[in-house]
Amino acid sequence: MMIKKRSILCSLAILALAKVVFGIPYGFNNATSSNKIDRESAATSQGPSRGIFCSSNPQEDMTTIELIKSFGYPAEEHYVKTEDGYVLALHRIPGKKGSAPILLHHALLESSFVWIINGKEKGLAFNLADHGYDVWMANSRGNTYSKNHENLSKSDSEFWDFSWHEMGIYDVPAEIDYISALTKDRLLYIGHSMGTTQFFVMASQKPETAAKVKAMFALAPVGYTHHIKGSFGILGSMLTNIEEFLNIDGRREFLPQSSWLHFGGSCVCNKPILRTICENLIMSTIGFNAQQFNASMLPVILSHTPAGTSLKTLMHYAQGISSKDFRMYDYGKEKNLAKYNDEKPPAYNISKIQVPTAFFWGKNDFLAIPEDVKRLYDQLPNKIASVEVDHPRFNHLDFLWGRDAPKLVFSRLFPLIAKYR
Ligand SMILES: *[C@@H]1O[C@H](CO)[C@@H](O)[C@H](O)[C@H]1NC(C)=O
Ligand SMILES: *[C@@H]1O[C@H](CO)[C@@H](O)[C@H](O)[C@H]1NC(C)=O
Ligand SMILES: *[C@@H]1O[C@H](CO)[C@@H](O)[C@H](O)[C@H]1NC(C)=O
Ligand SMILES: *[C@@H]1O[C@H](CO)[C@@H](O)[C@H](O)[C@H]1NC(C)=O
């Protein structure tokens, strides 16, 4: 009950925060030229200046590529174009010639930085590179590194007319086709949260792309969202209810990387007393587990995340809370009839997913809830293993940044990956 109360309080705080963040002019430039690659960073968008009371870790202002190099690894940036015109950045720690390519796909509101920010010893990308893999990190359309389109600019509402459905049928295939063509090999795939959702969409809709994947390793898998808890669950059910009244247009940007959050991270959350509040806000969405989370990483984390998506992406997840199903986007009866020839959007057919798949999940994860995870796993035709992390309070983000992630997750993940490399 204590947690429920904390979650409700935190939801209110997040709503207020989102409103502030929505209302702020971001200083977008007009990215209309099609071949100009435009990248936002907290450092270049306008916002409050950070003064002497703020932390000043140089990592706060580095891009993923700069961060990788700062840890002493080689880094490459590649761009791929999707069938529907989005230009996505792929970040790579290249392996030796002939090493097995592995694609890492981040969660909602994140970017490629999640795999490296906790350094050489604990970052999953570095661990994989040390084990001899050719490591690729994706960036979903609309995030900090993937805001370009051949004809649209990010100030057009059409640019934001996507959810993880389009990421699944366009982004993931473009990335996989590009990497497998370049490396002349099939890929391994690791997804975290939305990185798994997109994969399930792809694998159930695009068997010709799925055939290029040797195996999929899903950290905190999300398909069904019916049981989602915490402030996201509360906000999600609110969102679907309000949506009908307000006729919300999901075609807009949601929580981009922002100098205001960067300011919050390095000037507010850097104070030990206030850190607990920041920590609670984040934990209320993902599951409370202060023991695994290193709160002194907050200034750096908040300077890179949230990394932006469309509001529609969030609404698509929220729809699963009330529909109880893993379905395509629900546009309302009339539009559904026109689009899907049915009043209800079609469900993704999990039994079509032929890629061998392993699940890793935590008991205290508010977003990938054990009941929902199990339901999805049971429907998969080609199972490798369903691994429960051996920690009673392991949560959604502990897969990335948990103090003991190497011991609790990587040590069990790596032998499984090696079997399929
Ligand atoms: C963006 O485009 C609009 C309309 O074309 C123009 O009025 C405005 O000055 C441009 N802003 C920048 C920053 O170039
Ligand atoms: C972008 O515009 C060009 C020229 O009009 C067109 O050929 C192309 O199909 C468009 N791309 C997309 C993804 O709509
Ligand atoms: C926690 O994070 C800080 C800043 O990134 C780092 O210096 C410290 O070593 C970390 N502590 C542990 C126990 O990982
Ligand atoms: C799902 O896919 C399986 C295997 O291709 C097929 O047998 C089944 O009819 C499909 N189910 C639906 C509801 O389309």
d(CA 197, CA 221) in angstroms, rounded, equals 7
Q: Do the domain assignments include residue 82? A: yes
342 lines ligand 4 (CB under 6 A): no
Q: Do the domain assignments include residue 32? A: no
Q: Which domain holds residue 406?
A: 73-259+302-419
If you measure from the C-alpha of residue 85 to the centroid of ligand 2, how many angstroms do you get, rounded to a whole number?
7
211 lines ligand 3 (CB under 6 A): no
d(CA 359, CA 355) in angstroms, rounded, equals 13
Longest dimension (CA), the chain: 60
352 lines ligand 4 (CB under 6 A): yes
Ligand closest to CA 151: 2
Nearest-CA residue for ligand 1 atom 5 is: 30
Nearest-CA residue for ligand 1 atom 1 is: 30
| Contact assessment for residue 274 and residue 295, using Cβ atoms and an 8 Å cutoff | no
Q: Do the domain assignments include residue 30? A: no
| Contact assessment for residue 232 and residue 313, using Cβ atoms and an 8 Å cutoff | no
Q: Which two tokens stand for residue 76?
A: 């490459």
Q: Do the domain assignments include residue 277? A: no
Amino acid at 311: L
Query: How many other C-beta atoms are found inside a 10 Å radius of the C-beta of residue 220?
Result: 29
d(CA 69, CA 47) in angstroms, rounded, equals 27
| Contact assessment for residue 302 and residue 262, using Cβ atoms and an 8 Å cutoff | yes
Nearest-CA residue for ligand 2 atom 10 is: 151
Q: Do the domain assignments include residue 5? A: no
If you measure from the C-alpha of residue 31 to the centroid of ligand 1, how many angstroms do you get, rounded to a whole number?
10
Q: Which two tokens stand for residue 90?
A: 């792929």
Query: How many other C-beta atoms are found inside a 10 Å radius of the C-beta of residue 199?
Result: 30
Ligand closest to CA 119: 3
- CATH number of the CATH domain containing 192: 3.40.50.1820
Q: Do the domain assignments include residue 239? A: yes
For the chain, list residues with pLDDT below 70: 1-53, 55, 231, 239-248, 255-266, 270, 282-288
379 lines ligand 4 (CB under 6 A): no
d(CA 221, CA 378) in angstroms, rounded, equals 13
Nearest CA to 45 among 274, 258, 251, 196? 258
Q: Do the domain assignments include residue 40? A: no
d(CA 67, CA 112) in angstroms, rounded, equals 11
Number of folded domains that form the chain? 1
Q: Is the peptide bond before 306 cis (omega within 30 degrees of 0)?
A: yes
Q: Does an H or E element contain 16, and which?
A: helix 2-23
349 lines ligand 4 (CB under 6 A): yes
Nearest-CA residue for ligand 1 atom 8 is: 30
Distances (CA, A) of 268 to 30, 264, 282, 307, 383: 32, 5, 14, 19, 45
Dihedral sign of CA atoms 205, 155, 59, 19 in order? negative
DSSP secondary structure, 172-194, as one string? HHHHHHHHHHHHTS-EEEEEETH
Which of the listed residues 327, 344, 351 should we mutate to test ligand 4's pocket, taking the one with most ligand atoms within 8 A of CB?
351
Nearest-CA residue for ligand 3 atom 12 is: 294
* Residue 219, CA atoms < 13 Å, CB-side half-sphere: 28
151 lines ligand 4 (CB under 6 A): no
Measured from the Cα of 30, ligand 1's closest atom is 1
Q: Do the domain assignments include residue 108? A: yes
291 lines ligand 3 (CB under 6 A): no
Nearest-CA residue for ligand 1 atom 4 is: 30
DSSP for residue 52: T
Ligand closest to CA 203: 4
Active site residues: 193, 365, 396
If you measure from the C-alpha of residue 286 to the centroid of ligand 3, how many angstroms do you get, rounded to a whole number?
21
Burial class of residue 24 in the structure, from the number of CB atoms within 10 Å of its CB (0-12 exposed, 13-18 middle, 19+ buried)? middle
If you measure from the C-alpha of residue 288 to the centroid of ligand 3, how many angstroms do you get, rounded to a whole number?
19
d(CA 166, CA 30) in angstroms, rounded, equals 24
Strands (E), 342-402: 357-361, 383-388
If you measure from the C-alpha of residue 188 to the centroid of ligand 2, how many angstroms do you get, rounded to a whole number?
32
352 lines ligand 3 (CB under 6 A): no
Q: Does an H or E element contain 36, and which?
A: none
If you measure from the C-alpha of residue 81 to the centroid of ligand 2, how many angstroms do you get, rounded to a whole number?
12
